[in-house]
Structure 1
C-alpha cells in the first residue's frame, strides 16, 4: 500500500538544549520541562545560565518549556553540563522529544485523578526507549486529570480522565475510543507514541505531527490493544489560564503568577524561587504556579516584581512572538509595541484574546480562538478570528 507524502519538505529542526537555533540575537536553546514541573533549585540554575551564557532572561513557552536566548556560539556544551547536573537533561538523545503537558494544579485543586505521577513515568519510559529518540521535536503528549485544561491543546497523544477509574485516549486532539484504567494510562500513552513513530516511518518519516499522517489517528488507534467505547467530544482549549490565589483541597494556597509576554527576568525568577516551596509548575499560558503556601501573602512580592495576579488583567489575553531584535524575519519590535498598547489601554479588537506577530509565520500562536495582530512593516494588520469575537 502506498501513502501520500507528508506535507513537509524538510526535517523538523525544532531547537533543544543541545541543538540550538541560530537567531538574530544569538543562539536559542529550548529546555524541555515535562509537565512544567520545575524545582526552585532548577529555576536558579536556569536563571544563572541565562545571565552568564545568554541575554539574562528566560522565555516561557506555550508548552510549559523554557527558552534561553542570546547564547554565544559554542556555549552549548557548557549549557548542557549545567542542565544535566540539575536534572534537566536526563537523555541527550531524547531531549527534543520530551514535550509533555499536564493539568495545572492536578492533585492539589480539583480534577478527577492526580495526573502528577503520570508525567515522570511517561518521561522515563520515553527516554528508556531508543526508538522514541526518533520523535520529531514538535510531538506533544498531554495528561489531563479531567478538568479539560490541556486536553484541548491539540497534543498528538492525550490521556484524559473521564472518571476516577477510567481514562480516554485522544489522538491529534480527538477521542480515539480507546479506554484504560488510570493505572494503565502511562503504558497506553507510550504504546500510542510508539505506534505514531511506526506509522510516521511507514509514511515516509517526514511528518512533524500525527495530524499530518494520512489516516494517522485511525491507524495508531488500530495498532493499540484495550477496550473501546463510544467517542466523546474533546474539551476545548480554555481561552485563558488562572491567575491569582487558588484554594487547594488541603487548605493551603497556590498563587498563579502570569509572566507578561512570557519573558521572565532574573529578578522575577529570584522572587519566585524565594517565596516558593521546592516545586513550581510552568503552565501553557506562560504563567508560574507557586503551590503549597500557607496563605496568599506572597502575592504582594510577586506583583511588586512585575508578575500579574489579577484575573481581569489584559496580560491574560496578550501573547507575542520574539519580534525584533531577536528575530531577523520580524518587521517590528512586537513585544515593545504590545507592552505600549497594554499600558495605554489601546489593545486592538476591544482587548480580545490576541497574538502579536512580527511576520506571517505567527510563531508562538496559542491554541484556540485568537485575534492575530501582524506587523506589516508600516503598522499592524488585525486579523479577527471568528471564534474570538
Structure 2
C-alpha cells in the first residue's frame, strides 16, 4: 500500500523556496505551488495518466472550489489547477490526499510517469503494461533515495508500440514480447533486456543509479550528466546484476514518432470500445470534465486515462453506444476526430496568466485556426516554450516585434521566419503554410 498523508497536512509553499534537489528546480507540485499572474498554480501528478472516476470528481471539485474552474492537462499527462489562492493550499492538499492523489508528501513531485494510453485496449501493444505505473509509483513512494529526484525526471512506460518511448524519458521501459522488457536510459539506442515482471523495479534501480552519478544538484535529468548516458547505463547494468537480474545489453533504435492515440472510437475486446478525445489547447471546464467522468462511470470501466497529448481515453464503453457517446462529447466542444481544426494545435497559457508571455497565444491560436496541417503547431508566449511537444512540430513564438515560426525536427530547429506586427491574417497564413 502507498504511504498515507499524515493527519496534519503541511501548508504548501510558493515556488522559489528550497526543495530536495537544492536551488533551481522550480517545477510546481501540490505542496509547492507556482506563483502566476492569475493566481497560484498546482500540478497534480497522475502516474500513467490513470484516474478513477472518484478522483476525477475530486479534481473537478478542487478546480471549482479553489481555482478558476478549469482543468489543464500537461504534456506528461498530469493535471494543472490554476487561479488558486495561496491560503487555500492546506485544503487543496487535504482533498487530494483523501482521494489518493497525494499518496506521499515527500514524493509528490517525483511521480512523473507516462504510459501508453491504449495499452490493453486495441491489441497493438506487445504486452498489457497497465500494472506497471501503479507498481512503479508504489516503489517510488517507498524509496527514501527517490525523494532527491527533480520534478523534471521522467519515467516512460511503453507497451511496445513506440508511442511514449519517443517522449524523451530519462528512464524508459518498453515491452518486448510478453515476458521481456527493454530498459533504456535517456535518448541512447543502447538498452538492456530484463524480465517484464520486474521492469518497474529495474526502473527505480536506474533512477537511483542516476542520483549516484549526478555530480551536483544541477543535474536534473540524465542528459545533464557531464559524462553522458553511457557510463550511467554501465552502472545500471551492474546494479541490476547485484539485484538478481541477468540483463542483456542490446542496441535498438529509439522510436522518433511520438504519435498519440487516434481520436474517435477505438475498437476493443469483447464488444467493447474506448473513446479517445482531445481537449482544445489541453483545457476543459467543469461541465466537459463531468461529462467525461459520467461516461466512464455509467458506460465505461470507471477509469479515465489522461494522455501526454492532452487527451482523454475512456475504456470499456459498449460498441453499440460508442458512436453516440462520442457525438455527445463533440457537441460539448471536445475534439473527437482528426479533421477537427483543433487537431494538433497546442499553446502555453500565455497572457494574462503568465507575466513572461508577450501575447495572448491561446486567443491568437484560436483566431488562426484553419485546415488541419500535416504537422502539429505549438504557440508559445515567450522563448521558454513551456509545455512544447516532442518529435516534429511547428514552433510559433511571440517576440517583442511579432512572432517567429520555425520547424523543429530531430531535436533541431530550422532558421525561423519572422512575422512582424500584431496577430492577423499574415500570421495565420504563414502558420498554415508551415504546417503543410
TM-score (norm 2): 0.83
Deviation for aligned residue 1:361: 0.9
Flag structure 2 segments of 5+ consecutive residues without an equivalent: 1-20, 411-434
CA-atom RMSD in angstroms: 1.8
For residues 166-185 of structure 1, what are the structure 2 equivalents within 5 Å? 166-185=180-199
Deviation for aligned residue 1:240: 4.6
Change (3 A) 1:240 1:165: closer
Tell me the equivalent position of 2:386.
363
Change (3 A) 1:9 1:44: closer
Tell me the equivalent position of 1:379.
402
Q: Tell me how far apart the structure 2 counterparts of residues 69 and 98 of structure 1 sit (CA, whole Å).
A: 20
Tell me the equivalent position of 2:285.
265
Equivalent residues of 1:256, 1:289 under 8 A apart: yes
Tell me the equivalent position of 1:242.
262
Change (3 A) 1:379 1:43: same
Q: Tell me how far apart the structure 2 counterparts of residues 10 and 213 of structure 1 sit (CA, whole Å).
A: 17
Query: SS where residue 361 of structure 1 aligns?
Result: coil
Which of 47, 51, 54 aligns to 1:34? It is: 47
Which of 267, 282, 303 aligns to 1:279? It is: 303
Deviation for aligned residue 1:281: 0.0
Tell me the equivalent position of 1:148.
162
Tell me the equivalent position of 1:127.
141
Moved more, 28-37 or 169-178: 169-178
Equivalent residues of 1:314, 1:351 under 8 A apart: no
Query: SS where residue 137 of structure 1 aligns?
Result: coil
Q: Tell me how far apart the structure 1 counterparts of residues 259 and 122 of structure 2 sit (CA, whole Å).
A: 20
Q: Tell me how far apart the structure 2 counterparts of residues 54 and 204 of structure 1 sit (CA, whole Å).
A: 36
Moved more, 74-83 or 242-251: 242-251
Tell me the equivalent position of 2:9.
none
Query: SS where residue 189 of structure 1 aligns?
Result: helix
Which of 114, 127, 132 aligns to 1:113? It is: 127
Change (3 A) 1:9 1:183: closer
Q: Tell me how far apart the structure 2 counterparts of residues 9 and 317 of structure 1 sit (CA, whole Å).
A: 36
Deviation for aligned residue 1:313: 2.2
Deviation for aligned residue 1:346: 7.4
Q: Tell me how far apart the structure 1 counterparts of residues 24 and 408 of structure 2 sit (CA, whole Å).
A: 30
Equivalent residues of 1:53, 1:72 under 8 A apart: yes
1:164 paired with 2:188, answer no
Deviation for aligned residue 1:44: 1.1
Equivalent residues of 2:392, 2:407 under 8 A apart: no
Tell me the equivalent position of 1:331.
358
Tell me the equivalent position of 2:347.
320
Equivalent residues of 1:240, 1:317 under 8 A apart: no
Q: Tell me how far apart the structure 1 counterparts of residues 74 and 261 of structure 2 sit (CA, whole Å).
A: 14
Larger RCO (alpha carbons 8 Å, 6+ apart): 1
Aligned pair count reads: 376
1:354 paired with 2:377, answer yes
Moved more, 228-237 or 73-82: 228-237
Which of 102, 105, 114 aligns to 1:89? It is: 102
Flag structure 1 segments of 5+ consecutive residues without an equivalent: 1-7
Which of 209, 218, 226 aligns to 1:206? It is: 218
Which of 70, 76, 79 aligns to 1:63? It is: 76
Deviations 1:70-89 (A, max 9, x none): 10121111100000001100
Query: SS where residue 274 of structure 2 aligns?
Result: strand
1:23 paired with 2:42, answer no
TM-score (norm 1): 0.93
